[in-house]
Amino acid sequence: MARPRVVLGVSGGIAAYKACEVLRGLTETGHDVRVVPTASALRFVGAPTWSALSGHAVSDEVWDDAHEVPHVRIGQDADLVLVVPATADLLARAAHGLADDLLTSTLLTARCPVLYVPAMHTEMWEHQATADNVALLRARGAVVAEPAVGRLTGADSGKGRLPDPDEIVALARDLLAGAPTGADLAGRHVVVSAGGTREFLDPVRFLGNRSSGRQGYALARAAVARGAKVTLVSANVGLADPAGADLVRVGSAGEMRAAVVDAATSADAVVMSAAVADFRPTAYAEDKIKKTPGSGVPTVALERTPDILAEISASRSRPGQVIVGFAAETGDASGSVLDHGRAKLAAKGCDLLVVNEVGAGRGFESEHNEAVVLGADGSVTSVPYGPKSALSHVVWTLVRDRMADT
């Protein structure tokens, strides 16, 4: 199969150096990337670097190789155009259809998805001119990612930081896989839980699980891309923060419950994809439990943790709120994976339950998943094996359809 063709546009901001990591992330995952920098971008990172990392000659001039008509051909042949970083100046020129260099000409000829990843100072991002330009680009079908919040150039901090390169690569791969680009969740507030909780026995040891948080982060990323305001409640995850989501970090099941219940008060939907511990130790040892000769094996008494999914399903904070649960299951002598899933759906009282069989490269610690989404209305939606982003978009489409009925 031909490698997906990506045009990586680089405009003139200090974050241009991070685009090198985006380029490497795309090439290492099998993408054919051609870099089209602006003249200003080449003052931050030189053409030899882009050429070496991409394997293609690099130029910002429409006059180079004129017989190949590069200002037309590059955009026509692309499967995705990705601009990292997208400065305020580049967004303005793109929004108003200027074609004064190779990159802006490429943007005008592209008929594939176009993804802009902004990076600039907070004041520039919040200026009405930039807001209008972003709105215009989005109205035309382009995807403009939300910038991250954090350290900017110099001592400044705020919204406008370039998202983590791994996050940008994930966004690009989602678009290449056909992820929806519309804003069908605009105006909605959704809450997503992710990761695995930890219940400590002592300062060193805890009861935990294998959840990596990848599915929850994919859900958050997909919801942001579809226009939602997203609160992500994350437990013990080592992943790049999804740009555009409000992140709440927690550790234990009790902390997860408090954060989810609080965020759910203003949410249109809550998706509980986190692996929350079912049990926790009844007592916490302030000092490390020692293994001393003749002391024997300590006994650990356990108690149940709060059932967050059942609680928020039973006492919904607002009319029409959609609640989604996840069930990582294995079959046993008492029933199949779907048998256990249907029983859990009835017991929890949620609207949708995503049932996936864990193991064999699915579920925990994997970038792929396979699931069946059971609805309280009797619906059954099978999602074949594929990236967790694909499952995420299926879930949000099912949630959106139920929101439309409220």
pLDDT tens by residue, 339-372: 999 999 999 999 999 998 876 555 577 788 899 9
List residues bridging with 199 in a β-sheet: 207
Which of 125, 144, 176 is the last residue before a domain boundary? 176
Whichever domain contains 331, its CATH number is 3.40.50.10300
Distance from C-alpha of 278 to C-alpha of 45, rounded to nearest angstrom: 51
Residue 272 has a pLDDT of: 98
Average pLDDT, stretch 143-157? 90
Examine residue 148 and state whether it is found in any structural domain, yes or no: yes
Please tell me whether residues 195 and 171 are part of one structural domain. Answer: no
Please tell me whether residues 254 and 367 are part of one structural domain. Answer: yes
Please tell me whether residues 389 and 256 are part of one structural domain. Answer: yes
pLDDT tens by residue, 221-236: 999 999 999 999 999 9
Please tell me whether residues 198 and 346 are part of one structural domain. Answer: yes
Average pLDDT, stretch 73-94? 95
Distance from C-alpha of 278 to C-alpha of 197, rounded to nearest angstrom: 10
Best CA proximity match to 349, nearest among 326, 371, 325 = 325
Among 192-196, 285-289, 315-319, which stretch is predicted with the lowest mean pLDDT? 315-319
**Highest mean pLDDT (candidates 17-26, 206-215, 327-336, 337-346):** 17-26
The dihedrals phi and psi of 203, each to the nearest 5 degrees, come to -60, -10
Which of 145, 176, 207 is the last residue before a domain boundary? 176
3-state secondary structure of 360: coil
Please tell me whether residues 233 and 152 are part of one structural domain. Answer: no
Please tell me whether residues 202 and 56 are part of one structural domain. Answer: no
Residue 360 has a pLDDT of: 55
Active site amino acids? 209
Please tell me whether residues 212 and 324 are part of one structural domain. Answer: yes
Sign of the CA dihedral with 375 first, then 381, 386, and 389 last: negative
Residue 72 has a pLDDT of: 78
Residue 181 has a pLDDT of: 80
Q: Are strands 322-329 and 352-357 parallel, antiparallel or unpaired?
A: parallel
Best CA proximity match to 350, nearest among 394, 311, 406, 296 = 311
Q: Containing H/E element for 389?
A: helix 388-403
Look over the chain and give the mean of its residue pLDDT values, rounded to a whole number.
Answer: 92
Taking the CA atoms of residue 247, residue 252, residue 255 and residue 259 in that order, the dihedral angle to the nearest 10 degrees is 40
- How many structural domains does the chain have? 2
Residue 405 has a pLDDT of: 53
Residue 182 has a pLDDT of: 80
Residue 179 has a pLDDT of: 86
Please tell me whether residues 198 and 95 are part of one structural domain. Answer: no
Quote the longest CA-to-CA distance of the chain: 85
- Say if residue 279's pLDDT is above 90: yes
Among 132-136, 144-148, 208-212, 359-363, which stretch is predicted with the lowest mean pLDDT? 359-363
Please tell me whether residues 63 and 199 are part of one structural domain. Answer: no
Please tell me whether residues 117 and 230 are part of one structural domain. Answer: no
Which of 176, 204, 235 is the last residue before a domain boundary? 176
List residues bridging with 161 in a β-sheet: 148
Q: What percent of the chain has pLDDT over 90?
A: 78
Distance from C-alpha of 255 to C-alpha of 253, rounded to nearest angstrom: 5
Q: For 154-204, give the DSSP string.
A: TT-EEEEEPPPHHHHHHHHHHHHTT---S-TTTT-EEEEEEEB--EESSSS
Q: What is the domain range of residue 288?
A: 189-403
Residue 62 has a pLDDT of: 62
Examine residue 183 and state whether it is found in any structural domain, yes or no: no
Please tell me whether residues 194 and 305 are part of one structural domain. Answer: yes
> Is residue 58 a contact partner of residue 41, using CB atoms and an 8 Å limit?
no
Please tell me whether residues 143 and 224 are part of one structural domain. Answer: no
pLDDT tens by residue, 95-139: 999 999 999 999 999 999 999 999 999 999 999 999 999 999 999
- Say if residue 155's pLDDT is above 70: yes
Distance from C-alpha of 309 to C-alpha of 337, rounded to nearest angstrom: 19
Examine residue 184 and state whether it is found in any structural domain, yes or no: no
Pair of tokens at residue 395: 């879930």
Given the structure tokens 């939907």, which residue do they identify?
269
Examine residue 26 and state whether it is found in any structural domain, yes or no: yes
Examine residue 182 and state whether it is found in any structural domain, yes or no: no
Whichever domain contains 17, its CATH number is 3.40.50.1950
Examine residue 271 and state whether it is found in any structural domain, yes or no: yes
Examine residue 348 and state whether it is found in any structural domain, yes or no: yes
Examine residue 155 and state whether it is found in any structural domain, yes or no: yes
Given the structure tokens 């998202």, which residue do they identify?
163
Residue 21 has a pLDDT of: 98
Which has more pLDDT, 296 or 201? 201
Taking the CA atoms of residue 70, residue 71, residue 73 and residue 79 in that order, the dihedral angle to the nearest 10 degrees is 120
Residue 71 has a pLDDT of: 62
Sign of the CA dihedral with 259 first, then 262, 268, and 272 last: positive
Best CA proximity match to 210, nearest among 191, 235, 192 = 235
